Amino acid sequence: MIDITTAAKLGIQLMDLTSLNLDDTPAKISELCTTAKTDYGQPAALCVYPEHVAWAKYQCSQRGLATMKVATVTNFPAGYDDIERALEETQRAISAGADEVDVVMPYRAFLQGDRQLAKELITNCKGIVGDAKGLKVILETGVLEQPKLIRDASLLAIDAGADFIKTSTGKVPVNATLGAAKEMLSAIKETGGRCGFKAAGGVRTATDAQAYLQLAESILGRDYLSATTFRFGASGLLTNLQQTLAGESSMNQSGTSY
């Protein structure tokens, strides 16, 4: 059982602090980098649009966060079925200095039965990213919806070379759910437990984070709860986690415990 304080601490350490808004500016990315330097440690990564990668890396280095990874997105958010487009975007992201790439699987093509296209896109993107950096594959589970389709997409992405499988873009009505997470984590276990998992979209509180962490622990064990294999993709979650930890600290200082 993971208590709420542990969940909040882990949540910060395992977070991809994200800003993927069309009105993002260098000033907003600078503010995001400042937010990442917390009293409770730093997130695993920042996730920004490709055009902001170089600036984010510079701003992180200026704040003593040089070890924090900078991730970006490609084929985002629509999951186009144009492989060349996805490869070009991924190459530009790596050239810009991205440490990790979150690529959207062509989920509409997958739904229409074209699984070979999805596999080819992921395999070729992994070839660009290479072994030294991470490729997260966004399945868009809220659109796939059916447990079997989520499981099949998970297995396909893992087989194609994904370092992580990720629930969602955060840009559709239904994003991360515990049901989808269970299918994905079970597929990861079935294939040896080496692929990472990322819950993105809709994880907003320490209680939400606790539920996902407990689910992952129940399927893959406590050691799986590491930044090398587990992430949250979130924007507003960080504030709630810090408030949770600040409340715990305040209660301890007053001599009262939960």
Task: For residues 141-168, give the mean pLDDT.
Answer: 98
For residues 29 and 19, the answer to whether their CB atoms sit within 8 Å is: yes
Q: Which entry of 102, 126, 136, 208 is annotated as an active-site residue?
A: 102
150-180 burial, b if ≥16 CB within 10 A, otherwise e? bbbbbbbbbebbbbbbbbbbbeeebbbbeeb
Extract the tokens encoding 72. 């970006």
198 labelled catalytic: yes
Specify whether 133 is catalytic.
no
Where on the phi/psi map is residue 193: left (φ > 0), alpha (ψ -120 to 50), or beta? left
pLDDT at 253: 47
% of the chain surpassing 70 pLDDT:
96
Spans of all domains in the chain = 4-250
Q: Which of 57, 69, 136, 166 is catalytic?
A: 166
Active site residue 166: yes
pLDDT at 256 > cutoff 50: no
Q: For residue 249, is pLDDT > 80?
A: no
Q: Which of 57, 69, 198, 208 is catalytic?
A: 198
How much is the average pLDDT of 241-255? 72
36-69 burial, b at 16+ Cβ within 10 Å, e below that, comes to: beeebebbbbbbbbbebbebbbbbbeeeebeebb
pLDDT at 257: 31
Q: Which two tokens stand for residue 199?
A: 């819950």
pTM beyond 0.85: yes
Quick one: pLDDT band at residue 255, thresholds 50, 70, 90?
Answer: very low
Tokens of 53: 């990668």
Mean pLDDT, range 64-71, rounded to an integer: 96
Token digits of residue 95:
């050239």
Name the pLDDT band for 254 (thresholds 50, 70, 90): very low
State residue 252's pLDDT score: 54
Under CATH, domain 4-250 is a member of which superfamily? Aldolase class I (3.20.20.70)
